[in-house]
Amino acid sequence: MTDSVTERLHGDLPLADAETVASGIDADATVLTSGFGSVGYPKEVPLALADDDRDLSLTVVSSGNVGDEIDVDLVESGAIARRFTYQSSAVARAATNRRDVAFSDRNASSIGDDVQYGGLVDPDVCVVEAVAVGPDWFIPSTSLGHVPAFVAAADELVVEVNSAQPLSLQSLHDVYRPDAPPNREPVPLTNPGGRIGGPRVEFAPEKLTAVVETDRPDDTYTFRDPTDDDLAIAANLGDFLAAELERSPVFDDAVHLQFGVGSLGNALMGELKELDFGGRDVVYFGELIQDGLFDMLDEGRLESASATSLALTTAGQERLFEDVERYAEDIVLRPVDVSNHPGLIDQFGVIGVNSAIEFDIYGNVNSTHVAGKRMINGVGGSADFNRNALVSVCALPSRLNEDVSRVVPMTFHVDHTEHDVDVFVTEQGVADVRGLSPVERAECIIENCAHPAVKPDLEEYLDAVEPQENHIPHDVERAANWQ
């Protein structure tokens, strides 16, 4: 980057190297970190902690997904004893399932309050990434997450100033932290593209214990090319959205959308480029901005995009960095307790589209565990949108490969209950289960979403349990052995 050191470092700052900072962190400290969507996380201090020869037993709290410096190097070193609240690397996943790391999952929107007010942890130090820093402020980099809350909660603050991130990122940030309960006012945001804060996170100057310089880039996303199933799901979703926009007067003037991160999400955004919105304003109000949204912005198909993180590929990040200030006219990054705020999701009438591992015939959704026991990742922000969106959609292929159905009689881990999700979409079709009883939901989901290879088995299961005099008929033993 061309930004000079004098543009990034302001005032009399406690400059230090990462090794010195790491050695000053207690062996059993609780460390809060920036980072969300695999970007904007600290890199040098976690690597120095991984190389520390002490017997560390750290509690690490992040707002969301972080990169390999934390989720691989620091985990492999054995330095992490307890972890909140999202992980997705193979190394972190294995350590979680071995229970070498005590992992606790939380909904994304609540973590800041849980840390600052709820007694989740007793934080010692907060380590964040920034593009610039002063004696009592810093400007975050490619994500915000719960950084304002974490900084307020921790006794000490370490800022990594990363020259691999452009200083112009400051034009994206809208830092606003809700007041403490019980005097919390409604978030004063009336337009998702509007701004209610500024680019800086401010803090008491006595908190700042060290500033570390780095030029290490983010560990960016890699998205696979859309599969035939992805494209079929996208087409089915497009058909549903077109009908829903015509059905509900809420969408007469504008439609507010949210998509979960991933290759399927990118494919769904591609479908939106072809959808006729009938002159309505299209607005993105979610937690993650992916590459597909830039295509919509560049083609004039999107009014604005509001999120907490830039979950981009390397190519997508380069595309942004080359023209940050132009994109800042339409993109806003906020703390996650604003981007995922239940009241705002409700206020804007968001249509939320998220994926999962599986769902059962009654509409319960499992986003995190295989076979009800093996952790894959964290729940992230999907619950925030599934629970509070005006229309919540679960979209995923009906099968994993050719031998595992993702539509099952009963899921043995439930992240989102049958009360949370309105519509299910697979490559087979769309099941709109709003207003249906449990057995009616099961019939609708099997008919419209199950793969033809497993549909007869699901129908046989439902036929076998339906004579029960139960509101939700089940044969738990048979459901457990079904797959």
What does the domain layout of the chain look like in residue ranges? 5-214, 228-481
Judge contact between 176 and 334, C-beta under 8 A: yes
Q: What ranges make up the beta strands (E) of 264-417? A: 281-285, 288-289, 304-307, 309-310, 331-333, 351-354, 358-360, 365-366, 369-370, 374-375, 391-395, 399-400, 404-405, 407-408
Look up 418 and say whether it is catalytic: no
Average pLDDT over residues 409-433: 97
**How far apart are the C-alpha atoms of 147 and 34, rounded to whole Å?**
6
Average pLDDT over residues 120-143: 97
Quickly list DSSP for 44-87.
HHHHHHHH--S---EEEEESS---HIIIIIIHHTT-EEEEEE--
Helix (H) or strand (E) segment spanning residue 234: helix 228-247
3: confidence class by pLDDT, cuts 50, 70, 90: low
Query: Which amino acid would we find at residue 61?
Result: V
Neighbours of 435 (CB within 10 A): 8
pLDDT digits (tens, 9 = 90+) for 139-174: 999 999 999 999 999 999 999 999 999 999 999 999
Q: Is 33 helix (H, G, I), strand (E, B) or coil?
A: strand
Token pair recorded at residue 258: 């949210």
- Of 117-126, 255-264, 376-385, the range with the lowest mean pLDDT is 255-264
| pLDDT at 431 exceeding the cut of 60 | yes
Judge contact between 382 and 338, C-beta under 8 A: no
| pLDDT at 465 exceeding the cut of 60 | yes
Structure-token match 């159905």, residue found: 405
pLDDT averaged over the chain? 94
Would you say domain 5-214 falls under CATH 3.10.580.10?
Answer: no
Q: What is the C-alpha end-to-end distance of the chain, expressed in Å?
A: 52
Q: Which of 413, 406, 403, 408 is nearest to 482 (CA)?
A: 408
- Of 88-102, 109-123, 249-263, the range with the lowest mean pLDDT is 249-263
Chain length of the chain: 483
Query: Which amino acid would we find at residue 206?
Result: E
Tell me the percentage of the chain whose pLDDT exceeds 70: 99
Structure-token match 């968001």, residue found: 350
Provide the total of helices (H) and of strands (E) in the chain, helices listed first: 19, 26
- The pLDDT, as a whole number, for residue 71 is 95
- The pLDDT, as a whole number, for residue 152 is 97
| pLDDT at 263 exceeding the cut of 90 | no
Average pLDDT over residues 108-118: 94
| pLDDT at 408 exceeding the cut of 80 | yes
Residue 170 DSSP one-character state: G
* For helices 291-298 and 263-272, angle between their N-to-C axes, nearest 10 degrees: 10
pLDDT digits (tens, 9 = 90+) for 328-344: 999 999 999 999 999 99
| pLDDT at 271 exceeding the cut of 90 | no
Q: Which of 169, 202, 175, 170 is nearest to 189 (CA)?
A: 175
- Burial profile 389-410: b = 16 or more Cβ within 10 angstroms, e = fewer: bbbbbbbbbbbeeeeebbbbbb
| pLDDT at 19 exceeding the cut of 90 | yes
Whether the bond between 6 and the residue before it is cis, its omega within 30 degrees of 0, is no
Q: Which of 39, 9, 333 is nearest to 163 (CA)?
A: 9
**How far apart are the C-alpha atoms of 377 and 369, rounded to whole Å?**
8
- The pLDDT, as a whole number, for residue 273 is 74
- The pLDDT, as a whole number, for residue 4 is 66
Q: What ranges make up the beta strands (E) of 311-385? A: 331-333, 351-354, 358-360, 365-366, 369-370, 374-375
Mean pLDDT is highest, among 85-94, 221-230, 423-432, for: 423-432
Helix (H) or strand (E) segment spanning residue 455: helix 455-465
Catalytic residue among 160, 287, 427, 443: 287
In CATH, the number for domain 228-481 is: 3.40.1080.10
Tell me the percentage of the chain whose pLDDT exceeds 90: 85
- The pLDDT, as a whole number, for residue 261 is 75
The gap from C-alpha 76 to its chain's centroid, in whole angstroms, comes to: 24
Judge contact between 250 and 372, C-beta under 8 A: no
Judge contact between 334 and 63, C-beta under 8 A: no
- The pLDDT, as a whole number, for residue 260 is 85
- 0.85 surpassed by pTM: yes
136: confidence class by pLDDT, cuts 50, 70, 90: very high
